[in-house]
Structure 1
Amino acid sequence: MGTSDSIAGGLHRPGSNVAPPMYKAIRFFFEICLHSFYGNVEVEGTENIAPDNYPAILVANHSNSLTDAIAILSTVPPKIRSMVRLTAKDTFWHKPGVFNYVIKSAGTIPIKRRKDYENQKVDNTETMGALIDSLGTGSCVCMFPEGISRYHPQLAPFKAGVAMIASDTLARYQDMPDFSLTLVTTSINYLHREKFRSDVVVTFHAPIVLTPQQDAKLFSADKQEKTEAIRKLTELLESTVRSTLLDAQDWETVRIGHTARKLYAGDLGTRISLGQYVRLTRKFVSAFSQHKQETATAKLEDGSPIGDKNGDSLEMKQPVKMDAETVKKIDELAKDLAEYQDQLDFYHLKDYRIKQGKPSVRVLFGKLFQRSLLACLLSTICLPGLFLWAPVFIAIKYQERKIRKKGPLEDNLDEIAQYKLMIASFFLPVIWGFWVLVTLPIALFSGPGIVILMWLTIRWLEDLIHNAKSMLSLLRLLFLTQDTIYSLRDCRQELAERVHDYAVQYLKLPEDPEDLVRENRTRKASSGWFGKLSGSYFSIKRRRRKDWNEVMRLHDVTKYD
């Protein structure tokens, strides 16, 4: 077994996996779903996906119910892979419903789960046979080895199903000298999976190419040898998917990881790509998570490079071993970071406000006046579009409250995201069709005009909320005493120095965080004053924001549980 930067070999059967019209329609609908609900969807590593008619399995984490399937189908380029077959729990086939119909119509293969049958033993022999047959014709199958969709901070242990299917597939086609099976591990990171207009990054990792000749142990006649090979492959898949996830034992570790990243590289903002942002945050999350469970002599987890989707990166050296005293200092740092973030949350302030300090009263009133004028302007131009969006917002709020009453929030947040996304996507064409009929005499103009108005309304609404949040922050600064500001700033400065030392010495991050921006080639620098303005505040495509973690809320979301 091995990884490669390109797909070689494989059983190539031209025309054996042509996507049916229904699949294309569903994929188009899914793309509307994903891009309507989430603000930025960044995709990395599409060159690692095996092309059409080469047997492949996409292996992904499963933290957001049906939304994960939508993310996969929407981000795999049709030019590379015209069709991806999904797997889903077979209970979708037992009941009627819109979601169930969509899932069944997308070429999905049903799998029985023990938890759906009172933990009784289930027989998936027929399903496994269908999967192997599908792979034999050059299909691409997407599987979620966690076996469950879960809203938890840590990836669930992978089940051996994917490795076993790979084993059976290689065994069946072992007499074909040109046969190979490609496993493409995929990491899906939602910054706030259930929040409207938050961000998603989907990363396709380097392929793992299996062949009957090189990986004969996977279907060895020696049961122990085969079991060990399947175990190792499962561990490899899990570790690869985990390598770019914000993964920790608890949400508090994720929270302080974000705080540490802000103190180390808060000035970078969105000048780095979303993928870089996630990997940089993960460095701190992973490190603090390791400190909770490792001894003083253990090493930190080997981190993935912080780079852009084109593969350019700053490779990081292996973190150094730490003695007991160092581990104690890091534990204290984690505790102090949590306390500092608690203070920011108490005063409802952002870290950069503390760094800048409190402006004079005159400057504060000037900024408040400017933002008041902007708020009036944005509110005025938003009103017509908000009238069109009202049914969507009302339906989403109603469904969210209904789901929250069902039980523990952590068991239902992924369902909230799913329903929000689907409701928005269902209502949008209905609203558009209704107003086109109402304005039928001028439908040639109103048709595209309604789409443009609704899109611009969301952009303006994002700016309005950002502006309102800034006004609230300035008002809080106005009423804070200088002593409080000085105390917070001194605390921040001392913490920033400790975080920087830790990042450079132990995580082997750059001395100058700006190096990350220089290596980021995913965005072209704007030239001149007009380019800078059009590339930031006045951009129709992307709203102005200081941090990728921002959402459409009047308060910052720093707690994830």
Structure 2
Amino acid sequence: MAKGTPTPWPYTLIRLLFQFTLKVFYGTIVVSNAHFIPETGKPCIVCANHSNSLTDALLLVTSVPSNRRNMLRLTAKSTQFGRKTFTSWLIESAGTVPIHRRKDFDVPVDNSQAMEALIKALEAGDAVMMFPEGMSRFHPTIAPLKTGVARLASDVLSQHRDDPQFEIYILNCSITYMHRQHWRSDVLVTWHPPMVLRPKDNPELLKPVKHETIRAVTTQIYEQISSGTFDSPSWHLVQLSKLAARMYAPLGTTMSLGDHVRITRTFLEAFKDAHEDSSEENQPIHPEIVKTMQLQTDLKEYQHRLMSYGIKDDRVRRPLSRHDIVRRMTIRLFWSCILFSISIPGLVLWLPVILSTLYAVHEFKKSGPIFDTFDEIAQYKLIYGLMSGICVWLGGVILTLPFALVTIFLIPATMWMTLRWMEDCIASSRAFFALFRLLRVGKHTLNEMRILRNGLHREIVELGISLGLPPKPEEFFVLAGGQEKGRVVGPWQSKAGYFSIRRRRKRDWNETLRLYDKVDYPDDDS
């Protein structure tokens, strides 16, 4: 078996730097099924959906355990090379292979050299990372996959047609961002069982190979990737599916991020099927399809009313007296002030990072439309945040030179704990404003909303059960989940979580570091 290419030092540096940076930017990164990753020395093509530009590649690099693979050979669009930027240096130093995209050039492109480099890497036992969509884009749906991965696998197999023991792996991965460009959101990285191809078992992939065979392999890749993430024809269906998931498994349900994504995807697939069936011409519509379509209409109206009142579904589900609301508001306000007060020293350190990052993103947004720029926002935040954070750290150490041996560790520790406390400060402030808006809504309107919600909840649970979901999620997921739950369990853990060194234990996977709940999405024509 091949031993694989030795890991270049820039790659190791990049992996260490961005493991830290990604953990700062995203609140929770859950890696599922890492045991499916073939070990170093086994030729492997890693494929994933591509919705977040360079961030996708960095996430995969840091999600592969070093004891499984020593490195991933990256690919990137050729326009990223040869520029005097930190991003360009980053890409080139990691041994990335440039891919020429047709959309970037006015003349026909030639990727023969790139393919040769990838074939050599695979024959050396490396893992090659490719994004078969061919481009990163800010859309709710996965783009039609290019056939390059299947053709590359066919080329490698054909060169080893006389070796019956040779095998190449196609390892598919689904990346699911709760909110891809927002600070302290969450990410799920799901690895799927690899597709193992051998000359003796897959003679149809040996040259000359038919286009139908290449397309069949590409379809398999698409089916695996889409099975682990949200693949929707519109943002509208993503929004409704997330609302249905939150109503089915309400706030307080002990649930891992993986479970939350799978539940949301279950409702999304049902809503997609209903749309497809209802759009078929000259075909009778099944009563269940009509019922599902009506449920979507009712959910949309309910979500619109929640947004207009500025409250969450959980506030409607659990009735509170005015006295209890005022009491909770007082506690939330007091706790927010305490957390903000102890965070002030660290916020002084964070201020240059926040301002420089906001400015960079603001200028970048003006460079193009949403669909062409929003997929790179997280990348800009990560890189500018990393660079400005290093400058703050070095500047602080230099200014406190007599105590440098202390401040070299104290500065990053203070910044990290400040971030942790500010998360809970923002959450408490968000709860305070939500309770205040609850007072303004009034008892009569809340009772009306509660009646509407109860009817919707019954229909959602019925639909969930028909789709194979458990009838009592609050009880089921306590027993079904592993040790990594993500959400708080019990009042003591909730309070202790404020001072957790590792990370905040979230109660709601929809949270970001914002004073309002992120439930809106771009218009589908954006």
TM-score for the superposition, normalised by structure 2? 0.95
- Write out per-residue CA displacement over residues 232-263 of structure 1, whole angstroms, 9 at most, x where no aligned residue: 10000011000011111000000000111111
Asked if residue 451 in structure 1 is aligned to residue 412 in structure 2, the reply is: yes
Which aligned pairs between 1:145-544 and structure 2 lie closer than 5 A?
A: 145-221=132-208, 223=209, 226-269=210-253, 271-294=254-277, 324-357=286-319, 359-505=320-466, 507-513=467-473, 514-523=475-484, 532-533=493-494, 536-544=497-505
Partner of 2:2: 13
SS in 2 for 1:333: helix
- Contact 2:487 2:507 (8 Å CA) reproduced: no
Q: In the comparison of the two structures, how many residue pairs are matched? A: 519
Q: 1:113 to 1:495 in 2, by over 3 A?
A: same
Task: Tell me the equivalent position of 2:122.
Answer: 135
CA distance in 2, matches of 1:107, 1:443: 35
Query: How does the TM-score come out when normalised to structure 1?
Result: 0.89
Partner residue in 2 for 1:96: 84
8 A contact 1:463–1:544 mirrored in 2: no
Q: Distance in 2 between matches of 1:66 and 1:377?
A: 38
Q: SS at 2:249's partner residue?
A: helix
Name the aligned partner's letter for residue 291 of structure 1: A
1:93-133 Cα distance to aligned partner (Å, 9 max, x none): 24321101110111111111100113x32111121111111
**Structure 1 residues 328 and 530 mapped into 2: Cα distance closer, same or farther (>3 Å)?**
closer
Aligned position for 1:5? none
Match of 1:302 in 2: none
Which whole-Å deviations, capped at 9, do the CAs of 1:13-58 have from their partners, x for residues lacking one?
23x4220212111211221221121111110111111101110010
Q: Quick one: which of 51, 60, 64 aligns to 2:48?
A: 60
Letter in 1 for 2:468: K
In structure 2, what is the Cα distance between the partners aligned to 1:350 and 1:121? 52
Q: Which amino acid letter does the alignment assign opposite residue 143 of structure 2?
A: A
- Alpha-carbon displacement from aligned partner over 1:143-183 (angstroms, at most 9, x marks no partner): 00000100100000110000000000000111122210011
State the alpha-carbon separation in 1 of the partners of residues 72 and 489 from structure 2.
44
Contact (CA 8 Å) 1:180, 1:212: kept in 2 or not? yes
Counterpart Cα distance in 2 of 1:536 and 1:492 = 31
Quick check: 1:273–1:522 contact (8 Å CA) kept in 2? no
Q: CA deviation at 1:231?
A: 0.9
In 1, the alpha carbon distance for the partners of 2:506 and 2:89 equals: 38
**Alignment match, 2:520:** 559
Give the conservation status (yes or no) of the 8 Å contact 1:44–1:203. Answer: yes
CA 1:347–1:135: 2 relative to 1, 3 Å: same
2:95 to 68, 87, 107: 107
**Is 1:24–2:12 an aligned residue pair?**
yes
Q: Aligned pair in 2 of structure 1 residues 481, 528: CA closer, same or farther (>3 Å)?
A: closer
Distance (whole Å) between structure 2 residues aligned to residue 529 and residue 402 of structure 1: 44
Contact 1:526/1:532 (<8 A) preserved: no
Q: Percent identity?
A: 38
Distance 2:436 2:43 in 1: 59
Q: 1: distance between equivalents of 2:139 and 2:314?
A: 29
Q: Is the 8 A contact 2:356 2:388 kept in 1?
A: no
How far does residue 362 in structure 1 lie from its aligned partner after superposition? 2.2
Letter paired with 2:381: K
- Residue type of the alignment partner of 1:110: P
Give, as a single letter, the amino acid of the residue that structure 1 aligns with 2:196: V
Distance in 1 between the 2:21 and 2:337 partners?
31
Shift of 1:382: 1.0
